[in-house]
Amino acid sequence: MTQETANRTGNKGAASLRTVFVCVSIVAVMTGLSFAAVPLYNLFCRTTGFGGTTQRADAGIGADHVLNQTISVRFDANVSNDLNWDFRPEVRETRLKIGENAMMVYVARNRSDHKTTGTAAFNVTPAIAGQYFVKIACFCFTEQTLAAGEQVDMPVTYYIDPAIVDDPDLKYLPEITLSYTFFPAEESESPSVSQAPLPSSALDQGKQGS
């Protein structure tokens, strides 16, 4: 083997090692980003208002006034495939006066035989209406831990800001959709072979409050 051939072989080997290193690094970075995606997305949306992020009001504080004009609000619920929960709104759609305080209850149940923790990301559609959807109290951005088989009610108190009628693009908007998606917040407990699922608690059907 000549010196030139040896150099070529060495260069190819070094290039192959660099390629492997780059590929492994990319996989590691993508894996890290996948775990951080939900909290980073939530932080980004809260900071920028992107993606139909709602506004927050101090507890107990509603709109300055209530209009006679009404609007429909639809409620959507989704769960990541990695979280073994049932999650749904008690009512799929309601109609309320703009500026009127209202409450909607979401119901979550852990279907697994071990404790799991989830956190909810949310958005409003159309996205431009998110700035007028004001939540007074909600379960978003906080970890929710449910025991095996446990079922809980998760209320959301909100109102539609009367300023929406001053927006030329939204003054006649007929409907807003509030959507939540639950993702696993941390690694679940390892299920025990002898551990049996607990029965879900009975749910008293709540009524929409205002």
Which token pair is 7? 């150099």
Domain check: are 172 and 79 in the same one? yes
Residue pair 157/208 in contact (Cβ under 8 Å)? The answer is no
Q: In what order do the strands lie in the sheet with 116-125?
A: 93-97, 70-79, 175-184, 116-125, 144-146
Alpha-carbon distance of 179 to 96, in angstroms, equals: 18
Domain check: are 80 and 165 in the same one? yes
Residue with tokens 């009610």: 153
**Residue 140: per-residue pLDDT:** 82
User: What are the phi and psi torsion angles at 14 (to 5°)?
Assistant: -65, -40
Domain check: are 167 and 91 in the same one? yes
Q: Report yes or no on 167 lying in a domain.
A: yes
Q: pLDDT class for 40, splitting at 50, 70, 90?
A: very low
Contacts of 31 (CB under 8 A, 6+ apart): none
**Residue 141: per-residue pLDDT:** 76
Summarize pLDDT for 77-119 with one digit per residue, the tens: 999 999 999 999 999 999 999 999 999 999 999 999 999 999 9
Would the pTM count as exceeding 0.85? no
CATH number, domain at 180? 2.60.370.10
Domain check: are 170 and 97 in the same one? yes
Q: Report yes or no on 132 lying in a domain.
A: yes
Rg of the chain taking only CA atoms, in angstroms? 24
Domain check: are 153 and 69 in the same one? yes
CA angle 179-73-160, nearest 5°? 100
Residue pair 179/124 in contact (Cβ under 8 Å)? The answer is yes
Which token pair is 3? 């010196």
Alpha-carbon distance of 79 to 86, in angstroms, equals: 7
Summarize pLDDT for 128-158 with one digit per residue, the tens: 999 999 999 889 878 999 999 999 999 999 9
Q: Respond yes or no on whether the N-terminal peptide bond of residue 191 is cis (omega within 30° of 0).
A: no
Domain check: are 60 and 154 in the same one? yes
Domain interval for residue 168: 55-184
Q: Report yes or no on 208 lying in a domain.
A: no
Q: Is the pLDDT of residue 177 over 60?
A: yes
Q: pLDDT class for 191, splitting at 50, 70, 90?
A: very low
Domain check: are 14 and 102 in the same one? no
Domain check: are 63 and 41 in the same one? no
Domain check: are 63 and 32 in the same one? no
User: What is the count of structural domains for the chain?
Assistant: 2
Alpha-carbon distance of 205 to 210, in angstroms, equals: 16
Q: Is the pLDDT of residue 2 over 60?
A: no
Domain check: are 62 and 162 in the same one? yes
